[in-house]
Amino acid sequence: KMGVSPIGAKVHVAIAAWPWGAYLGPEALDKGIRVKTASYARHHINVTMARAKMSGTYPNSVLATLEATQHGYDEGLLLDVDGFVAEGAGENVFIVKDGRIFEPELTSALTGITRSSVIELATELGYEVRAKRLTRDDVYIADEAFFTGTAAEVTPIRELDGRQIGAGKAGPITKAIQKAFFDVVTCKDKKRRPWLTPVKAKGK
């Protein structure tokens, strides 16, 4: 029957695996990307189950990405309804300032799996990771900035709203975290093999 109640509805689960290139372009992981602050806000925490990764929360991410790319940028950055940095259109965001790593407080932002992995890796590398309310100004004057996500992996941000961030390229801390992350996903970090679920290629 048609309606908004899920009671009695069957649950269907599908898992797909396919070859995946660089989500934000082949040069993004090395040179970094250009990002635009979106005019669309991230959902307020009470609008929906904002911590859930579900398709129903993605329309404003789609709009943010379209807005960014139509203005010549690679990706959008969403603020929360109070004007503080929330997350990328499909990624968590971090900045580096004076050797320390900062992320937005997790209000309406997604608690990403890649985010959690990166925090663990960064901490093991000896970096302090702190959550705080971040403004666009904090990102503008950061020494480094980067996105994390299942698709984005660890992607440096070289520019926000036409303003160069740091040296305008992937910084040393971003590079160190990026290397540690790819050591995990390419099976070079044997200690973290349990993080991975191997998928056999078709015909192999």
Asked if residues 99 and 173 have their Cβ atoms less than 8 Å apart, the reply is yes
Considering 31, 36, 53, 191, which one is annotated as catalytic? Answer: 53
Distance of CA 75 to the CA centre of its chain: 11
Q: Find tokens 């040179």 and name the residue.
A: 31
Asked if residues 23 and 153 have their Cβ atoms less than 8 Å apart, the reply is yes
Phi, psi of 124 (to 5 degrees): -65, -30
Concerning whether 53 is annotated as a catalytic residue, the answer is: yes
> What is the Cα–Cα distance from 25 to 152, expressed in whole angstroms?
10
> What is the Cα–Cα distance from 130 to 119, expressed in whole angstroms?
9
- How is residue 48 written in tokens? 């929906």
CA–CA distances in Å: residue 160 to residues 14, 86, 164, 203, 204: 37, 14, 7, 44, 44
Active-site residue set: 53
